[in-house]
Amino acid sequence: MQLAKRLDQLPPYLFVEISRKIAEKRAQGIDVVTFAIGDPDIPTPRHILDALHEAAEAPVNHRYPETEGLAEVRQAIARWYKRRFNITLDPNKEVLPLIGSKEGIGHMALCLIDPGDIALVPDPGYPVYSVGTMFAGGECYFLPLTEENDFLPDFDAIPSDTAERAKVLWLNYPNNPTTAIADLSFFEEAVAFAKRYNIAICHDAPYTEVAYDDYEPVSILQAAGAMDVAIEFHSFSKSYNMTGWRIGMAVGNPTLIEALMRVKSNLDSGIPQAIQQMAIAAVDGPQDCINEHNETYQRRRDKVVEALTRLGLRVYPPKASLYVWARVPDGFTSIEFATRMLEEIAVVVTPGVGYGKQGENYIRLSITTPDERIDEGIRRLESWSFSPKVNA
């Protein structure tokens, strides 16, 4: 048989390869501490699980769901956006539940990109932005996110002929992997740029509720005129520790929402309704779990930042997200440094180059590892002695 040529352009998914390496080490009897994948280790809150148990007993939830989701979950999402960001959304036209935000992000390129069109994609960035573009036959123009520019794209540096061909601009703040944040003035600048060139903005925002030091992230939809050009992807995964239940949402411009719903209706059968009931319980129920989770993550962040600093890496305490982004010492590539760490102290981190060329010389550490494993990983880091000359 002959597979589609597009698969030749598809790199192995970064975390599949990392999981394979972890499995190999553990099969050898090696105790591995992993800081690799941003999957919250704290269980889903009890009141949300109770909603699932109750909903699972209802026969109506044993049947096919609808692509557009229950009216009740769309209304609950709209209420949450109003409470959290003071944004008013029409639950019938401006809200679409997703089978996790990754699904919506992957499908969005099919709504916006024709063969030969350009997507403006951050580098480093979440790989699905560029992979979705490739699946749709488009081309990526990568926007460098550099430490010198606070890991924000420079819109003025985009050539005008490239901007004229572009159909979509991908943004992601709080950012994965760099942990950078963006304020409302940045989003206003992005909206003005998008309107100038008739570009849609897709903002990936799953980390707005994972923030520290009293910082409160904003939504792009709070920027003036954003509803004219922007769609925002959000998730229950990080806010409510629901990664295993696969539910998220897209909100924003009604034309973009309707386009995504049309694609989804032809490719999936919606979110199980019992899980939608979990989402309603999450956004309408008590919210103190978010602060409790963030206190745990902030404590872990402080430990990891301190250990990496003592190790000689340059790192700034992130104000949001589930990660720490650190520059490796001179003389190493990100893969070399991550490999040395795995081989010599059995600690797994993600090499920054896996997120794009601009991620070279950095590593990403997730703080979604239980406290006792965080402490063990830090103990190993603090006892580690390395020299670039070994790899020379």
Question: Which of 132, 153, 131, 150 has the alpha carbon at shortest distance from 142?
Answer: 153
Distance of CA 201 to the CA centre of its chain: 16
Q: Is the pLDDT of residue 18 over 90?
A: no
Residue bearing tokens 């004229």 = 164
Residue bearing tokens 């699932």 = 52
Question: Which of 355, 282, 384, 373 has the alpha carbon at shortest distance from 126?
Answer: 355
Among left, alpha and beta (phi > 0; psi -120 to 50; other), residue 131 is alpha
Q: Is the pLDDT of residue 392 over 50?
A: no
3-class secondary-structure state, position 179: coil
Residue bearing tokens 């001179």 = 330
Amino acid 391: pLDDT: 43
Residues 6+ apart with CB under 8 A from 65: 269, 270, 271, 272, 273, 276
Amino acid 8: pLDDT: 85
Rounded mean pLDDT, 45-67? 97
Domains in the chain, please, with CATH?
5-44+289-391 (3.90.1150.10), 46-284 (3.40.640.10)
Rounded mean pLDDT, 99-108? 97
Rounded mean pLDDT, 341-345? 93
Q: Is the pLDDT of residue 390 over 50?
A: no
**Rounded CA separation 316/326 (Å):** 8
Note the pTM of the prediction, 2 decimals: 0.95
Q: Is the pLDDT of residue 162 over 60?
A: yes
168-223 pLDDT per residue, tens: 999 999 999 999 999 999 999 999 999 999 999 999 999 999 999 999 999 999 99
Q: Is the pLDDT of residue 352 over 70?
A: yes
Rounded mean pLDDT, 134-163? 97
Q: Is the pLDDT of residue 157 over 70?
A: yes
Q: Report the amino acid identity of residue 235.
A: S
Amino acid 13: pLDDT: 64
3-class secondary-structure state, position 164: helix
Exposure string (b/e) for 242-263, b if CB count within 10 Å is 16 or more? bbebbbbbbbbbbebbebbbeb
Q: Give me the chain's average pLDDT, please.
A: 95
Q: Is the pLDDT of residue 387 over 80?
A: no
Amino acid 19: pLDDT: 78
262-314 pLDDT per residue, tens: 999 999 999 999 999 999 999 999 999 999 999 999 999 999 999 999 999 99
59-96 pLDDT per residue, tens: 999 999 999 999 999 999 999 999 999 999 999 999 99
